Amino acid sequence: MTGVEFPEDFVWGAATAAYQIEGAVREGGRQASIWDTFSATPGKVLGGDTGEVAVDHYHRWREDIGLMADLGLSSYRFSVSWPRVRAGGLGFYDRLVDGLLERGVRPNLTLYHWDLPQELETPSGGAGEGGWPARDTAYAFAEYAGQVAKALGDRVGMWTTLNEPWCAAFLGYASGVHAPGRTDPVAALRAAHHLNLGHGLATAALRAALPADARIGISLNPSAVRPLTGSAADLDAARRIDALANRVFTGPLLHGGYPEDLRADTAALTDWSFVHEGDERTIGAPLDFLGVNYYTPAVVSAADGAAVRADGHGASAHSPWPAADGVSFHQPPGERTAMGWSVDATGLYDLLMRFTREAPGLPLLVTENGAAYEDVPGPSGQVEDLDRIAYLRAHLAEVARARADGAPVEGYYLWSLLDNFEWSYGYSRRFGLYHVDYATQRRTPKASAHWYARLTRSGVLASE
């Protein structure tokens, strides 16, 4: 076999999120999350779908661990449901972690993948603003992190504080296409800061509760922002979006503070007084790894009068880009996934090399990468998803190229293990290696599952 060989200790994984797969939203005393409320609100989720049942992982976790073993995974990245833990539901994760270890699959635990307890979004009595725009939520998150660490820290060695805080802040509080569905750009900027602060406070809580060799990081969804042309106006549009998509997080995480150009761009909206003395120092606590989630690049220009904003983040009359009304997004020509996202693997290489330059020596993990396609089963029930295999092969080739050029990429987590509830798209988009018949919950490996299993066992990315 010819191809690119990955090292023996390279981490081969797959990823999921609690609300997207667990179901059982009222079992074990679990409290309501903002996604329970949002998805039950007419018109918010395509088809009126909810995560009430999802793919029933709460009851089928043993079967699903078997699927992971069949794939030859060395690690599984999952998230813990804060509303479940808040009601004393840690036992489920205790059993899950033990089950993973019994099958030789190392757990990579994410504390927050968007399912904020509804009680924190709407405080009892309706007094004051809740959710991530409220500073108190960051402190509540740190308390929750310490609770989970004390329960599972003896067996879980990899900890991710937040998954894609950009989505939580800007899709949840600016464009409103994600829970809780608010459309206030200032609240979104405050949410971004308090998510950052929550990460810093949670990191401290984890350090206090975990063994010294535990590894703590965060998973961002950085944007590979590209100007449409080399004009000064388009370059400035790219700078503006880069600040809102990337540097609003990497500034305090990696470089000591929020970028001045971001503050200047948004000065008409806020004076940033929600950033308190010492916050940026707390946020910048040393990381053991940085997770990179990547699907597609962003192509931008100065406003060109286009009626449709093609930023790939769902339809809304409200922009997820505060103070960036003068920027247009463009859909590049060529192949697209079922999400409408252009396929361009070079963006992943660009991001990995960017972080290698910005934070020399900081280990990197690709914590999400994958694609949704139509995935129609054939007469035999099999899904021959050759388009997904091509997508994965191209992106893993860019991971290998980045490693060859010095990027310290230690592993790759494919999104996703299973078809599942895809947020505001409901069950209409399939990302999984395993096809799920939502009526019967039957799991069937797609062609990509067999392909990935060969890769995890051989460590060789074949050219064809």
DSSP 358-415: HSTT--EEEEE----B-----TTS----HHHHHHHHHHHHHHHHHHHTT--EEEEEEE
**If residue 79 lies in a helix (H) or strand (E), which one and from where to where?**
strand 75-79
- SS3 assignment for 164-206: CHHHHHHHHHCCCCCCCCCCCHHHHHHHHHHHHHHHHHHHHHH
How far is 252 from 255, CA to CA, in rounded Å? 6
Relative to beta strand 215-220, strand 364-368 is unpaired
Show the DSSP H helices in 50-112 as ranges.
57-71, 82-86, 90-102
Where does 296-376 have alpha helices with state H?
Answer: 346-358
- How far is Cα 297 from Cα 366, in angstroms, rounded to an integer? 15
Catalytic residue among 22, 121, 280, 368: 368
Q: Vertex 337, ends 331 and 342: CA angle to 5°?
A: 30
- Residue pair 168/132 in contact (Cβ under 8 Å)? The answer is yes
CB 218 within 8 A of CB 180: no
Active site (annotated) includes residue 27? no
Catalytic residue among 164, 280, 398, 422: 164
Kind and range of the H or E run holding 449: helix 447-458
- Catalytic: 121? no
Question: Catalytic residue positions?
Answer: 164, 368
